[in-house]
Structure 1
Amino acid sequence: MAVKKSAIIFGATGLIGGHLLRELLDNPEYGKVIAVVRREMDVRHAKLIQLVADLQSVENIKDQLVADDVFCCLGTTRKKTPDLKDYYRIDHDYPVNAARLTKANGAKAFFLVSAVGADADSGNFYLRMKGQTERDVVAVGMERTHIFRPSLLRGERSEKRWAESFAKGVFTVVDALLVGGLANYRSVPAAWVARAMNRAAGQTKGGVRVYYWKDIKQLV
């Protein structure tokens, strides 16, 4: 009998992370799924181990962060985190630290949710932060690094965002007009991103791979 893999997921309570957790628990390739969460979730599964930690306390559980594949769906918003330094710590420092700690424990693959347009040299704070996160996660040197760059995410959030609700209606029309290179900016269901991440974990080719809308759709 083949030995089953293990996975760690950061951000399991978010829009993509919630879908991804279910994907990983249903994936027969994984015998264990570790979810690092700020508060224990009301989820029970024979495969699931919950570790309670955040950016400030993750070092305290570093010896328990042992898995083959690591999935990072961490991220906040300006509304939740108006202080840019705190925003940067959550969206940049935490994912990079997660990659560093898990690689030290033998992880081979890292799957990161980023954003379309990410650019470490961008004049836009958000895109610059996402680009620097990608750059610094890649620099950790995992055998395989998979970066997912969705545009607007579709799906039901626990919180309602007026701007996103408005944009979803607009994108229903606009998506069809985004062709060629602009297709990267089409909205995408969060469930698609989660499923693509899960399926990408079955790939064994080394190096860095970046996924846009078309790549995500093909994996679904």
Structure 2
Amino acid sequence: MTAQKSALVFGATGLIGRQLLRELLGSPEYGQVIVVTRRDMGIKHPKLMLLVADLQSLNNIKEQLVATDVFCCLGTTRKKTPNLQDYYRVDHDYPLRAATLAKENGAKGFLFVSAVGANAGSSNFYLRIKGETERDLAAVRYKKLHIFRPSLLTGRRNEARWVERLSEGLFSIVNPLLVGGWKRYRSIPATTVAHAMYRVAQQDRNGTHIYYGNEMRNIT
């Protein structure tokens, strides 16, 4: 019988992270699921270990960041984090620090939610951050690095974001028109991204791999 794996999750309170956590807790593949969060999530489960920390206090729990697979769904918005330096810390510095500490503790796989259009040379602040984060994660040299680049995410959020609701309605019309190479820009349910992350983690594929929305939909 194959020994169960352990998972370490950052960003478990977000749209993708919440769905991913459900999959991991219900999976026979994982015997323990460690979640790092800024506050108690109010969830109880025999597999779940909750660690309360943020970027500034991450070193304090370094010895507990031990897992086979690391899932990073961290991200913020300009509304929540208007200061660009703080935004960069959340979207770049935090994932990179998490990846570095977990690898030092023996983690083999790192699965990261980026964004379609991510490019370290982009003039767009958001896409440049995502691109720089991808670049710097690759330099950590994980045995398995899986990067997921979704477009607009759909699903039920904890907070009302009317602009994204409007965008979801628009994309429901536009999606069928995005064909060929443009398929990657179609909106995608957060549940689809989370499931793709979970399934990819079960594959024995070394190296760096990038997945767009159309590829995520086909991962079973």
Q: Which runs of 5+ in 1 are unaligned?
A: none
CA displacement 1:164-202 (0-9 Å, x = unmatched):
011111000000000011100000000100000000001
In the superposition, the TM-score normalised over structure 1's length comes to 0.99
Q: Given residue 11 of structure 2, which amino acid in structure 1 is its aligned partner?
A: G
Residue 83 of structure 1 and its aligned partner are, at CA, apart by: 0.3
Residue 143 of structure 2 corresponds to 143
Q: Deviations over 1:147-174 (max 9, x none)?
A: 0000000001111112101111100000
Q: Match of 1:105? A: 105
Note the C-alpha offset of 1:113.
0.2
How much is the aligned-residue C-alpha RMSD, in angstroms?
Answer: 0.6
Q: How does 1:105-144 map to 2 (within 5 A)?
A: 105-144=105-144
Q: Which residue does the alignment assign to 1:4?
A: 4
The one-letter amino acid of 1:105's match is: N
Q: Secondary structure at the match of 2:31?
A: strand
Aligned AA (2:25): L
Give 3-state SS (helix, strand or coil) of 2:120's partner: coil
1:2 CA drift (Å): 2.0
Deviation at 1:27, TM superposition (A): 1.1
Give the whole-Å Cα distance in 2 for the aligned partners of 1:110 and 1:157: 25
Counting aligned pairs with the same residue, the percent is 62
Q: How many residues align?
A: 220
Q: Once superposed, which parts of structure 1, at least 4 consecutive aligned residues long, lie more than 3 Å away?
A: none
Corresponding residue SS for 1:56: helix
- For 2:46 and 2:106, the matched residues in 1 are separated by 23
Counterpart Cα distance in 1 of 2:122 and 2:100 = 25
1: CA distance between counterparts of 2:76 and 2:55? Answer: 13
* SS of residue matched to 1:198: helix
Partner of 1:17: 17
- For structure 2, the 5+ residue unaligned runs are none
Q: Deviations over 1:35-90 (max 9, x none)?
A: 00100111111110000000111110001000000000000000000000000000
Specify the SS of the correspondent of 1:89: helix
